[in-house]
Amino acid sequence: MLSIGDLSKRTGVKVPTIRYYEQMGLIAAAERSEGNQRRYERSDLERLAFIRHARNLGLDIPAIRELIALSQHPSEPCANADRIAADHLAAVREKIERLRKLEHELERIVSQCDGGHSIEDCYVIRALSDHGLCESEH
């Protein structure tokens, strides 16, 4: 039986975050000791590792909840799990695309300004004031 602190140390998930996941319904409400403290088993360790891993990959809590629900029906088809991951991948790719454009624009703006003159002539400020100086929409 592990205390919440033990579970935290073993999974790298902070104590308040574990309680938060319980509140969000990602992990079952733990058994309690006589003094009302949470006591965990090995299976909670695995569950929490699953959650942490999914969060590290950027999945949000509803998606994780759904994946957990799915994982509890081993004989069901896995199309839904596949879809969740694929949708997330698509979202990640969109974010990258968007950030790439920003990177481009910022690169261009920064490269025209070496910080060695006055605000009056500063390309950073001018570019922000006048969208016409931009190459792409954003």
Partner DNA sequence: GATAATTGCTACAGTCACTAGAGCTTCAAG
Partner DNA sequence: CTTGAAGCTCTAGTGACTGTAGCAATTATC
Footprint on this chain of DNA (rule: CB under 7 A): 3-6, 8, 14-17, 19-20, 33-38, 55, 60-62
Structure tokens at 108: 């261009």
Exposure string (b/e) for 8-35, b if CB count within 10 Å is 16 or more? Answer: beebebeeebbeebbeeebbeebeeeee
- The CA distance from 100 to 105, in Å, is 9
* Residue 76 binds to its own copies (criterion: CB under 8 A): yes
* Residue 115 binds to its own copies (criterion: CB under 8 A): yes
List the interface residues with its own copies, window 16-45 (CB under 8 A): none
- Positions that interact with its own copies (CB under 8 A): 46, 49-50, 53-54, 56-58, 67, 70-71, 73-79, 81-86, 88-89, 92-93, 95-96, 99-100, 102-103, 105-107, 109-110, 113-122, 124-125, 128-129, 131, 134, 138
